């Protein structure tokens, strides 16, 4: 759930503000909001230092020497001052960048010599002094054949109809109507010497940078120190100031307000604690029980956070995402692979890595195994699911391999099931909104939307799979529409609210119908997964394996085919499984995902 926040305003003595900030940093609970733009030369200097530091760390992280297995030097002991390392490393990186630019530029010239050979500019000049004008041209074979027989040319090279040739004229004005190429100013031997020197120096620079890899830990410590200094400077210069006093404002969870009050009483700070004025300014702190925190890695991966006034959808996201994952992957064998990978990864990393990602993988893999078990799909082989050990769990209505006579019924049931899941998912969204405003007439509007969603579910079944539209459908639609029209924009002037809602309602209902139908993607992508797996199995096994070579080829085909299918399934989960939660579901909750991270001012 999203932790409730309080807005705290502190009035401090200007002379004692640095001491006050140190005390607040020790508390580590106040998310500071700047009262004024934090402008200072100190801040500019710190930002510049951090920029250089980030470049330095990036250079070190990318450094491997010429070849780590053949490196002539190993990382040396770190220096006592990381700032010296920054200067040295950035200087070397700048020198390397300059040399690489020179290499790129002069390698193009070297490419010219590779096409023409070691043509000497001085030799051409000497020939001109002797009265023989040499010009270099590029032309096509057919045009060259049309030149007069007396034309003196020498072909250097012929590349699939394009000819590089030299023309020998008797005067300066003798020219041919071809593309002329100029001889580089630098001679070939000198160019190659320079290229060799630059390449050697770049190698030396790489070795020198690699030898400084031991500085990385000191640089990381310096980065942490500078970030803390920058944070302190931003807070210090972002206060409101009036004569001998400064004003500091921020937000903290309600259960930590007492610690701020105690510090304020102890140090004679004036304070005001109140409900936040603007929810958009309030940071979001989500506190969930341990079992529910396993979904946090997914939100971190997506980079999403609800606004303070929005909803924490961790629980419905975890439940429905697990179901969507299982239906899209749709293979018990793949689920077993996910669980096994999670087990071995957790065993390898042990306590070094957080548990949540591994537990989430177990949940998703377990859900996939369960869906694959009841649908009879193990690595795309129908026979495995029909084994006595597994067949007891098979549900024919959702079987991945229905009998020919049952295919139409199976298809219709799966589509109807997807609509049903969509209706439940969207019902949860509106139910959460209704609970939020349970003491307001607007809750009735959310109930109305629930009625409309289920009406649209019946409509989808009628239009897509020709199910009979139930008699309850029309009363649900009428009742739901009236509730939405009357209470969605509830105000004293009921007619005005009614008309305001009426203008948007038809388009919103059409959009909601599209949302319900969009849950078909669960069946479509899952069906594609089964088809791809079965196709690779057919390619690999076919009518049987006739020998060792055929068996080896079959094994390779199965491995590559199923690996590709797993990758496609995971892409489908990201594209479709996440979408249904982040767009369709969140859209019905009016989620904007506008939250900012709760970052308390702390040591």
Return the pLDDT at 66.
53
Query: How far is Cα 237 from Cα 260, in angstroms, rounded to an integer?
Result: 21
Strand residue runs (E) in 261-304 = 270-274
- Tokens 């065993």 belong to 347
Residues with Cβ within 8 Å of 113's Cβ and at least 6 positions away in sequence, in order, are 119, 184, 188, 191
Query: Measured between alpha carbons, how far is 456 from 469 in angstroms, rounded to an integer?
Result: 10
Tell me the C-alpha distance between 560 and 579, whole Å.
28
SS3 state of residue 251: strand
Which positions ≥6 away from 222 have C-beta within 8 Å?
Answer: 53, 82, 83
Please report the pLDDT score of residue 236 as a whole number: 84
Angle among Cα 198, 204, 208 to the nearest 5 degrees reads 140
**Token digits of residue 554:** 């079959």
Of 427, 84, 48, the residue nearest 230 (C-alpha): 48
User: Could you report how far apart the first and last alpha carbons of the chain are, in Å?
Assistant: 26
CA-to-CA dists, residue 531 to 374, 380, 400, 413, angstroms: 17, 8, 9, 18
Task: Tell me the C-alpha distance between 387 and 171, whole Å.
Answer: 93
Q: 210 with 96: CB under 8 angstroms?
A: no
* Model-wide pTM > 0.85: no
pLDDT of 68: 47
**Residues 303, 390: Cα–Cα separation, whole Å:** 40
How far apart (Å, rounded) are the C-alpha atoms in residues 404 and 552? 33
In this structure, is the dihedral angle defined by the CA atoms of residues 26, 32, 35 and 36, taken in order, positive or negative?
Answer: positive
Compute the radius of gyration of the chain from its Cα atoms: 36
**Which residues make beta-bridge pairs with 69?**
none
| Cα–Cα distance list, 65 to 57, 171, 195, 204, 210 (Å) | 15, 55, 19, 9, 5
State the pLDDT at residue 79. 54
Residues of the chain with pLDDT under 70: 65-80, 543-544
Element (H, E) at 338: helix 332-349
Contact 249, 10 (CB under 8 A): yes
16-46 pLDDT per residue, tens: 888 888 888 888 899 998 888 888 888 899 9
Closest CA to 38 of 246, 258, 349, 330: 246
CA distance 372 to 387: 14
Q: Which is nearest to 323 in space by CA: 279, 359, 363?
A: 363
Residue 542: CB atoms within 10 Å: 11
**pLDDT (tens digit per residue) in 445-480:** 999 999 999 999 999 999 999 899 999 999 999 999
């Amino acid at each position: 759930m999203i932790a409730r926040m309080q807005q705290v305003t502190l009035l401090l003595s200007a002379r004692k503000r640095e001491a006050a900030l140190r005390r607040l940093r020790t508390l580590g609970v106040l998310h500071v909001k700047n009262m004024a733009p934090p402008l200072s030369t100190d801040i500019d200097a710190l930002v510049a230092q951090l920029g250089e530091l980030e470049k330095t760390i990036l250079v070190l992280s990318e450094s491997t020497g010429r070849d780590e297995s053949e490196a002539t030097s190993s990382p040396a002991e770190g220096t006592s001052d990381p700032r010296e390392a920054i200067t040295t490393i950035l200087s070397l990186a700048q020198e390397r960048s300059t040399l690489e630019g020179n290499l790129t530029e002069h390698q193009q010239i070297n490419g010219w010599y590779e096409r023409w050979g070691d043509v000497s500019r001085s030799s051409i000049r000497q020939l001109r002094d002797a009265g023989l004008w040499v010009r270099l041209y590029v032309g096509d074979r057919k045009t060259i054949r049309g030149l007069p027989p007396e034309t003196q040319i020498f072909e250097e090279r012929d590349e699939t109809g394009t000819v590089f040739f030299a023309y020998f004229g008797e005067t300066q004005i003798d020219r041919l109507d071809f593309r002329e190429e100029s001889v580089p100013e630098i001679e070939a031997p000198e160019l190659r010497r320079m290229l060799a020197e630059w390449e050697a120096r770049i190698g030396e620079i790489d070795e020198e940078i690699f030898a400084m890899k031991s500085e990385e830990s000191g640089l990381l410590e310096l980065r942490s120190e500078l970030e803390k200094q920058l944070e302190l400077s931003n807070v210090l210069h972002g206060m409101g100031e009036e004569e001998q006093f400064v004003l500091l404002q921020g937000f903290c969870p309600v259960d930590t307000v007492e610690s701020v009050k105690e510090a304020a009483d102890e140090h004679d700070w004036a304070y005001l604690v109140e409900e936040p004025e603007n929810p958009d300014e309030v940071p979001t702190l989500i506190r969930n029980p341990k079992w529910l925190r396993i979904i946090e890695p997914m939100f971190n991966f997506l980079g999403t956070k609800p606004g303070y006034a929005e909803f924490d959808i961790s629980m419905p996201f975890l439940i429905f995402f697990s179901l969507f994952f299982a239906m899209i992957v749709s293979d018990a064998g793949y689920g077993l692979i996910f669980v096994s990978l999670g087990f071995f990864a957790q065993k390898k990393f042990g306590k070094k890595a957080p548990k949540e990602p591994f537990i989430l993988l177990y949940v998703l893999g377990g859900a996939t195994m369960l869906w694959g078990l009841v649908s009879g799909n193990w690595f795309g082989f129908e026979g495995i699911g029909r084994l006595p050990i597994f067949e007891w769990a098979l549900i024919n209505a959702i079987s991945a391999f229905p009998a020919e006579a049952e295919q139409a019924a199976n298809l219709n049931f799966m589509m109807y099931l997807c609509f049903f899941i969509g209706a439940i998912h969207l019902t949860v969204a509106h139910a959460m909104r209704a609970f939020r405003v349970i003491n307001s007439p607007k809750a009735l509007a959310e109930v109305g939307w629930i009625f409309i969603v289920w009406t649209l579910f019946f409509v989808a079944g009628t239009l897509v799979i020709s199910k009979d539209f139930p008699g309850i459908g029309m009363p649900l639609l009428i009742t739901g529409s009236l509730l939405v029209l009357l209470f969605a924009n509830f105000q004293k002037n009921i007619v005005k609210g009614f008309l305001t809602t009426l203008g948007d309602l038809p388009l919103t209902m059409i959009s909601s119908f599209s949302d319900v139908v969009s849950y078909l993607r669960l069946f479509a992508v899952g069906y594609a997964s089964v088809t791809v797996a079965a196709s690779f199995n057919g390619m690999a096994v076919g009518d049987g394996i006739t020998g060792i070579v055929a068996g080896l080829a079959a094994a390779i085909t199965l491995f590559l085919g199923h690996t590709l299918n797993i990758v496609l399934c995971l892409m489908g989960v990201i594209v479709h499984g996440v979408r249904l939660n982040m767009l369709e579901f969140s859209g019905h909750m009016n989620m904007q995902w506008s939250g900012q991270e709760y970052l308390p001012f702390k040591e």
